[in-house]
Amino acid sequence: MIHIIDLHFQGQTEAIAAFLVETSAGPVLVETGPHSTFPYLKAGIEAAGFTIEDIKHVFLTHIHLDHAGAAWLFADHGATIYVHPRGYPHMHDPSRLLKSAKMIYQDNMDALWGTLNPIAEQQLKEVAHEDEFSIGDTTFKAWHTPGHAVHHIAWQVGEDLFTGDVAGVKIGAGPVVPPCPPPDINVEDWKASIQLIKDLAPARLWLTHSQAVSNVNEHLNELEDRLVDWADWLKPKVVDEQLEDGALVKAFTQYVLESFLKLNLSKEVSTRYEVANPAGMSAFGLKRYWKKKALSGSR
């Protein structure tokens, strides 16, 4: 059985979730959300009939703070934290990760994310592509799925796939959109990861932002189309016009908002999307992507 735990990030529902998977050897957690939403995570675990101490295994899709920020609390209670090799050192020593986040979020850092404490090496498990871990009667299989982040894993459990951010953000009945924050966005890698998921042919995708999806191919096709659309829209603004950051964020935010209006999204749902996936962050991530392409001579 899989429980979706809504973390009520910034007072919004459906913005960030964690997943509790019941196994014959006890509950397993996929994602933790940020440290700032830990009270909701704890309440969700208890509502399912378990305690924090019952969680002995935490599977992370990647180390961004909205997915992994509370992992250290479970490690402190003896849980093993499963993480991509590229994310492993940042979970053990989060100083660089925190410094980068504080530069971006400044005075809002604590309110948004809380803190991130180091995790002892003995509580961390480095995960290779296609590694499998059996917890009681349940097997978790890791698929390295870069594009959103170089340290991204999708976790397969039977016909279910926990997709982190590689399968996008979808709020309610709204569209699926690609979260594109810096520094690792790579459109080509992301498209390859989408194809990998299609080839796996899971019955359901469990999106951290923030629901289960069963129309898998339709969902992934829409995601890829929007990823390409966003990247193509931003390219001339970055490469040719070289808009400064403020103008770029303003223009892209307006572009995204207008696309939502065309889909008749309510203001409330549009706000949830902005909380879960700020347009400004995607503007910066895709700007970095195009700048790197230009520097490499690949247009």
> What confidence category does residue 99 fall into, taking pLDDT thresholds of 50, 70 and 90?
confident
Q: 134 in helix, strand or coil?
A: strand
Decide if pLDDT at 64 tops 80.
yes
The closest alpha carbon to 208, from 81, 77, 66, 72, belongs to: 66
CA 41 – CA 61 distance, rounded (Å):
17
Is the predicted pLDDT of residue 8 greater than 90, yes or no?
yes
pTM recorded for the entire structure: 0.96
Cα angle, residue 195 at apex, residues 190 and 198 outer, rounded to 5°: 130
SS3 state of residue 153: strand
Q: Note the pLDDT tens digit of each residue in 221-268.
A: 999 999 999 999 999 999 999 999 999 999 999 999 999 999 999 999
pLDDT tens digits for range 26-39: 999 999 999 999 99
Q: Which segments within the chain are labelled E, that is strand?
A: 2-6, 17-23, 26-30, 57-59, 80-83, 124-126, 132-135, 138-144, 153-157, 160-164, 169-170, 176-177, 204-207, 211-213
The single residue listed with the structure tokens 């469990």 is: 206
Binned at pLDDT 50, 70 and 90, residue 297 comes out as low
Decide which of 108 and 128 is more confident: 128
Residue 14 backbone phi and psi in degrees, to 5: 65, 15
**Residues with Cβ < 8 Å from 216, sequence gap 6 or more?**
197, 198, 201, 202, 203, 204, 205
Residue 17, strand partner residues: 6
What pLDDT is recorded for position 122? 97
| pLDDT above 60 for 299 | no
Look at residue 296 and tell me whether its pLDDT is greater than 90: no
Question: Which domains does the chain carry?
Answer: 2-221 (3.60.15.10)
Please tell me the predicted confidence (pLDDT) of residue 100. Answer: 85
Q: Is the pLDDT of residue 147 over 90?
A: yes
C-alpha distances in Å from residue 298, one per residue of 229, 236, 293:
18, 14, 5
- The number of angstroms, rounded, from the C-alpha of 174 to the middle of its chain's C-alpha atoms is 18
pLDDT digits (tens, 9 = 90+) for 183-222: 999 999 999 999 999 999 999 999 999 889 999 999 999 9
Burial of 182 (0-12, 13-18, 19+ CB in 10 A): middle
The per-residue pLDDT for 298 is 59
pLDDT-based confidence at residue 45 (cuts at 50, 70, 90)? very high
pLDDT, mean over the chain = 95
CB count within 10 Å of CB 18 equals: 24
CA–CA gap between residue 163 and residue 261 (Å, rounded): 27
